[in-house]
């Protein structure tokens, strides 16, 4: 039975995207439905969520580390979506005090939440012995702790209904040597999201864990995708596609969704391999890559 439910969760039809989908306004939510909070709003995927939600008429709360970038995005949105209310909050999600100040300010501004997109993340890639204690804490707090804290905040301050998208990763499906902390935090986020969804059943809260593969958001990621050859090209999805698929999934209250046909096939085929084979293959490939937080 569980297998059938998992298959249903991943059965989101990935319809071809066209220009009209991104230009024509979508039906707007009712005014009492609250705001959409997007973390990592100025990044590639975060910005895609911002635009996708703005097209649907959501009022927006944008957070990221750079106030300058947030204000630039706010000005950009004012030109494209002049009818959409947008507020910005600079915050360091790896810092508990900064997170608390973010939440306090949102409450002071009288905003309730109808949508939460936990997009912010740190994709540090290197062996554990190359980390410092500070880097360990930074990655764990951004990728997992902050998302969990914001889920609780959103639930406690929700509008009539709340949709939560937690952006995990296919990298969290299996343990990944030399990408171990990222993989572990994303796996934890998926597990947490699935459990939270059950806790929120019949309480007006939908929770979906989204597991994308690589996305061509930054130059280093584009080079990494290119280095994977045909597989990288097939498995990669644009941030815009991932955002659209994610929103459609949470609107249907899907438990979790692996984004992309080839990523789904990778999960199916590798599930039958002995764990030792998977670990050796991953270690061999990822030991050649080293990347710090951007």
Higher pLDDT, 117 or 19: 117
Instruction: Give whole-number Cα distances, 172 to 28, 185, 255, in Å.
Output: 34, 7, 15
Those residues with Cβ within 8 angstroms of residue 114's Cβ, 6 or more apart along the chain or in another chain: 29, 33, 34, 35, 36, 58, 158, 159, 160, 161, 162, 163
- CA 243 to chain CA centroid, Å, is 8
Instruction: Give whole-number Cα distances, 207 to 24, 116, 174, 236, 290, in Å.
Output: 27, 9, 22, 24, 33
CA pair distance 115, 206, nearest whole angstrom: 9
Per-residue pLDDT, 261: 80
- CA 48 to chain CA centroid, Å, is 11
Per-residue pLDDT, 13: 47
**Are the C-beta atoms of residues 66 and 89 closer than 8 Å to each other?**
no
CA pair distance 281, 96, nearest whole angstrom: 37
Q: Give me the residue label for tokens 């590639």.
A: 44
What's the predicted TM-score (pTM) here? 0.84
**Are the C-beta atoms of residues 265 and 259 closer than 8 Å to each other?**
no
Mean pLDDT of the chain: 86
| 2-10+20-286 CATH pick, 3.40.50.720, 3.40.50.20, 3.30.470.20, 3.40.1160.10 | 3.40.50.720
The string of pLDDT tens digits covering residues 122-150 is 988 899 999 999 999 999 999 999 999 99
The string of pLDDT tens digits covering residues 25-63 is 554 544 457 999 999 999 999 999 999 999 999 999 999
């Amino acid at each position: 039975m569980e297998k059938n439910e998992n298959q249903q969760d991943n059965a989101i039809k990935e319809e071809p995207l066209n220009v009209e989908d991104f230009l024509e306004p979508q039906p707007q939510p009712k005014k009492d439905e609250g705001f959409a909070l997007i973390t990592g709003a100025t990044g590639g995927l975060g910005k895609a969520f911002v635009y996708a939600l703005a097209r649907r008429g959501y009022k927006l709360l944008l957070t990221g580390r750079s106030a300058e970038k947030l204000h630039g995005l706010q000005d950009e949105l004012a030109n494209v979506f002049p009818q959409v209310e947008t507020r910005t909050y600079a915050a360091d999600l790896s810092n508990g005090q900064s997170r608390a100040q973010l939440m306090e300010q949102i409450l002071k501004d009288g905003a309730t939440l109808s949508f939460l997109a936990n997009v912010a993340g740190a994709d540090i890639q290197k062996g554990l012995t190359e980390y410092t204690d500070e880097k360990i804490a930074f990655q764990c707090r951004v990728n997992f702790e902050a998302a969990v804290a914001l889920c609780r905040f959103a639930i406690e301050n929700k509008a009539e209904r709340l949709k939560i998208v937690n952006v995990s990763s296919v990298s969290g499906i299996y343990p990944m040597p030399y990408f171990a902390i990222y993989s572990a935090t994303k796996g934890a986020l998926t597990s947490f999201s699935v459990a939270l969804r059950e806790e929120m059943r019949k309480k007006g809260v939908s929770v979906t864990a989204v597991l994308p593969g690589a996305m061509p958001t930054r130059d280093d990621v584009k080079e990494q995708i290119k280095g994977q050859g045909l597989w990288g090209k097939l498995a990669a999805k644009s941030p815009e596609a991932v955002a659209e698929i994610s929103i459609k999934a949470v609107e249907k209250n899907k438990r979790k969704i692996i984004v992309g046909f080839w990523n789904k096939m990778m999960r199916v085929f590798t599930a039958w391999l002995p764990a030792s084979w998977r670990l050796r293959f991953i270690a061999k490939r990822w030991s050649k890559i080293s990347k710090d937080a951007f």
